[in-house]
A and B are shown apart, each in its own frame.
Chain A
């Protein structure tokens, strides 16, 4: 009955999407098992907010997680039926807590940290975008992340100070989460809830992405029950994505020997050889002609002057 489409940023590193918001919605939809057609899009130019995710269901177009959850509730898809009102209150409090403490740190690690941005974020998003847009969108997202950090931590603050504050708050937040989770399978009872989708979307990229400056992701990896939690949810819901990624990686690893490198060089090498040969031939011929080593003789085939001479000679004889 539901004919839901979801446009997202492409995935990488065994994740279904590189973007936190996309991952939230995808995870939530996996939890409830709603049939959805996912498309990895390459240009967010025509979307309402200039970014993904965008969910379409008939004429409804939604761009944020809360709205999607509400919309799916009207279709009787809901993960939070097992929560009583008290747990629901707690879940909303914890959602705000993550939003306040962890989200700025994630934005900082992705976009504001110079090294991560130039070595990881920018290339990743450039790959996810099609040609004219990859020059525009990464820097746009970066400046909006920068603005957020400025607005929250003061515009003229020293970046090193800000980094330390942000990361230490995030670390405290992760410890709190870990205390709350304990050894249970999900945060609230033994069934996934909206909050679990949120936590997974925040933490999974930190665990999986190869950050050049891994301060924040090391905090996550250092907490055993949280990293097990992420692995568990990933295994249960995104197994096919991870498997496919691993398979691709493996095939790349085994063949990435000499033949692989040659194959990568292949078109260039042939082209270069041909070009060099043509250039050498032209140069040598030109040199030979200029020095008169051999002359191109057109006279053999047809020489009009000779005919004239002949005619002239004949005339002379006649006279």
Chain B
């Protein structure tokens, strides 16, 4: 696709000259009645990353944010003429503007950071998707109502169905669908153990805040503050106190409302 390559080249060359504009908007679904656990976690992670970089932005809630996003996933930011979605491309985009949190890390540390970010997107995101969409009780009492709340009657039902099919397909392809809830929670436990071992008793994973801290904050904070019929996920995460205190620290430092 020509426009795709055009976008790439623009981002790498032209875009670097312009500073970060003031009117950047972050689009996400409605936080109170619509948003689901996995989406909420990734939106929070992006917000945390932008706040850590001291980049000004405004949160704009739209019921159809998912369909406005170029990749079909929330959140996305509108920055001047560019629309960038999801954490990793946004990090890349900010780095091209000269704003980076990990510039002082060695290449080995950067490798490690990327690996841990993968650990989260592979384990925690899939576990969140599993619990929201596959776990019957959660799906029936939370996901179904929230996801269809913004649509008129028959459309909500259809949209929920098709989204559930898409999530099922994704989890099947990654061999997560045939896991039981206990296996999923065991994977989450393993993931949290790895993360808290890496964190140790430091304030941040690599001394100062990086996008890994933003990602961990987004997921841990969302998991422990969202009320779900399935308490297993939150309980598993709460057992790792260093991660929880990291999330609280970031919340207080960057999200404290005046």
- Write the residues of chain A forming the contact surface with B, with a CB cutoff of 8 angstroms: 85-86, 88-90, 92-94, 96-97, 99-101, 144, 147-148, 150-152, 154, 158, 160-161, 176-177, 179-180, 182
Q: A90-B112, A93-B115, A93-B194 are in contact. Are A99 and B122 (CB under 8 A)?
A: yes
What residues on A are CB-neighbors of B190 within 8 Å? 92
Q: Is B195 an interface residue (CB 8 A)?
A: yes
- The answer to whether A93 touches B112 (Cβ under 8 A) is yes
- The answer to whether B111 touches A179 (Cβ under 8 A) is yes
CB distance from A104 to the nearest CB of B (A): 9
What residues on A are CB-neighbors of B200 within 8 Å? 86
Q: Is B173 an interface residue (CB 8 A)?
A: yes
- The answer to whether B112 touches A89 (Cβ under 8 A) is no
- Which of B4, B112, B122 has a CB less than 8 Å from the CB of A100? B122
Q: A179-B107, A179-B108 are in contact. Are A97 and B114 (CB under 8 A)?
A: yes
Which residues of B98-137 are within 8 A (CB) of A? 107-108, 110-112, 114-116, 118-119, 121-123
What residues on B are CB-neighbors of A148 within 8 Å? 173-174
- Which of A93, A100, A147, A180 has a CB less than 8 Å from the CB of B108? A180
Of all chain A residues, the one with the shortest Cβ separation from B88 is: A169
Q: How far is the CA of A180 from the CA of B107 in the complex (A)?
A: 8
- Which of A88, A96, A160, A176 has a CB less than 8 Å from the CB of B122? A96
Which 6 A/B pairs are nearest by Cβ-Cβ distance?
A89-B194, A97-B118, A148-B173, A151-B173, A93-B115, A97-B115
Q: How far is the CA of A180 from the CA of B110 in the complex (A)?
A: 9
Q: How large is the interface on B (under 10, 10 to 19, 20 to 34, 35 or more residues)?
A: 20 to 34
- The answer to whether B170 touches A100 (Cβ under 8 A) is no
Apart from A92-B190, A92-B191, A160-B1, 16 more pairs, CB < 8 Å = A89-B198, A90-B112, A93-B116, A93-B119, A96-B122, A99-B118, A99-B122, A100-B122, A101-B118, A144-B173, A154-B72, A176-B114, A176-B115, A179-B108, A180-B108, A180-B111
Q: Is B197 an interface residue (CB 8 A)?
A: yes
Q: How far is the CA of A97 from the CA of B72 in the complex (A)?
A: 23
- Write the residues of chain B forming the contact surface with A, with a CB cutoff of 8 angstroms: 1, 4, 71-72, 107-108, 110-112, 114-116, 118-119, 121-123, 166, 169-170, 172-174, 190-191, 193-195, 197-198, 200
Q: How far is the CA of A90 from the CA of B195 in the complex (A)?
A: 9
Of all chain A residues, the one with the shortest Cβ separation from B196 is: A89
Q: How far is the CA of A55 from the CA of B232 in the complex (A)?
A: 32
What residues on B are CB-neighbors of A99 within 8 Å? 118, 122
Q: How far is the CA of A93 from the CA of B123 in the complex (A)?
A: 10
- The answer to whether A161 touches B1 (Cβ under 8 A) is yes
- Which of B107, B121, B169, B198 has a CB less than 8 Å from the CB of A147? B169
CB distance from A53 to the nearest CB of B (A): 15
Q: How far is the CA of A92 from the CA of B170 in the complex (A)?
A: 22
Looking at B71, B115, B170, the one whose CB has the most chain A CB atoms below 10 A away is: B115
- Which of B110, B118, B169, B197 has a CB less than 8 Å from the CB of A151? B169
What residues on A are CB-neighbors of B71 within 8 Å? 154
Q: How far is the CA of A89 from the CA of B243 in the complex (A)?
A: 14
- Which of B72, B110, B197 has a CB less than 8 Å from the CB of A86? B197
Looking at A85, A160, A177, the one whose CB has the most chain B CB atoms below 10 A away is: A85
Q: A89-B198, A92-B194, A147-B173 are in contact. Are A97 and B108 (CB under 8 A)?
A: no
Q: How far is the CA of A15 from the CA of B195 in the complex (A)?
A: 36
What residues on A are CB-neighbors of B172 within 8 Å? 147, 151
Q: How far is the CA of A97 from the CA of B122 in the complex (A)?
A: 8
CB distance from B249 to the nearest CB of A (A): 20
- Which of B4, B111, B123, B191 has a CB less than 8 Å from the CB of A176? B111
- The answer to whether A158 touches B112 (Cβ under 8 A) is no
Of all chain A residues, the one with the shortest Cβ separation from B5 is: A164
Q: A96-B122, A147-B169, A179-B108 are in contact. Are A85 and B114 (CB under 8 A)?
A: no
Q: How far is the CA of A97 from the CA of B113 in the complex (A)?
A: 10
- The answer to whether B193 touches A89 (Cβ under 8 A) is yes
- Which of A100, A158, A177 has a CB less than 8 Å from the CB of B111? A177
- The answer to whether B4 touches A96 (Cβ under 8 A) is no
- The answer to whether B72 touches A94 (Cβ under 8 A) is no
Contacts A/B (CB < 8 Å), 15 sampled: A88-B197, A90-B198, A92-B119, A92-B194, A93-B118, A93-B119, A96-B123, A97-B114, A101-B118, A144-B173, A150-B173, A152-B170, A158-B1, A179-B107, A179-B111
CB distance from B3 to the nearest CB of A (A): 11
Q: How far is the CA of A86 from the CA of B202 in the complex (A)?
A: 14
Of all chain B residues, the one with the shortest Cβ separation from A164 is: B4
What residues on B are CB-neighbors of A101 within 8 Å? 118
Q: How far is the CA of A182 from the CA of B111 in the complex (A)?
A: 12
- The answer to whether B195 touches A89 (Cβ under 8 A) is yes
- The answer to whether A100 touches B118 (Cβ under 8 A) is yes
- The answer to whether B197 touches A85 (Cβ under 8 A) is yes
What residues on B are CB-neighbors of A90 within 8 Å? 112, 115, 194, 198
- The answer to whether B173 touches A152 (Cβ under 8 A) is yes
